[in-house]
Amino acid sequence: MLKDKLKQYNIILASGSPRRQQFFKDLDIDFEIRLKEVEEIYPSHLKASAITDFLAKLKANAFEEALHLNDILVTSDTIVWHQGRALGKPKDFQDAYQMLESLSGCTHEVITSVCFKTIEHVTVFNEVTKVTFNPLSPEAINYYIKYFSPYDKAGGYGIQEWIGFIGVSKIEGSYANVMGLPVDKVFEYLSSLTSK
């Protein structure tokens, strides 16, 4: 549907996330993947969506000199915001365990910011989804970390995996956002470009 309308643009997804790449494939648009190493450090005073907005723009700024007239660069960042702090990707088994233990029996927010950058404009928006976990037993947490791959996921879990099936009791907002991209908002934005 969008593919023909976006023919005049070159869509660049700057993300190594297989989930985000799959979402773009599922939107049935032509895009290319370009990656740049960015040190994801943000000012300590930032909270919640201000963190992901900052990091999404930081990732986009790495391409400042590399964009051409019809390029649309898409960058994104996701965090789990819980008890006043940001949970990123766990460093090791112990880190992943502590994250999941802290989420057990609680409600947290998954926040994703998306940045669209051209040589003329920068647009950033974010989406917040509330996720409630059942109490998780130590056995369940250990099983998930051992047999799945929590290390590339904010908060140490993937809602589309086993832990999501057995652990999530309630979700308020976009499911896709918890996987790392508010696809409906991305579709809406790209569609708006074709009507201008």
In one-letter notation, the amino acid at residue 75 is T
Among 4, 53, 71, 77, which one carries the catalytic annotation?
A: 77
* Residue 77 is a catalytic residue: yes
DSSP the chain: -HHHHTTTSEEEE----HHHHHHHHHTT--EEE----------TT--THHHHHHHHHHHHHTTTTT--TTEEEEEEEEEEEETTEEE---SSHHHHHHHHHHHTTSEEEEEEEEEEE-SS-EEEEEEEEEEEEPP--HHHHHHHHHHS-GGGSGGG--TTSHHHHHHEEEEES-HHHHHT--HHHHHHHHHHHHT-
- Whole-angstrom distance, CA of residue 115 vs CA of residue 97: 31
Catalytic residues: 77
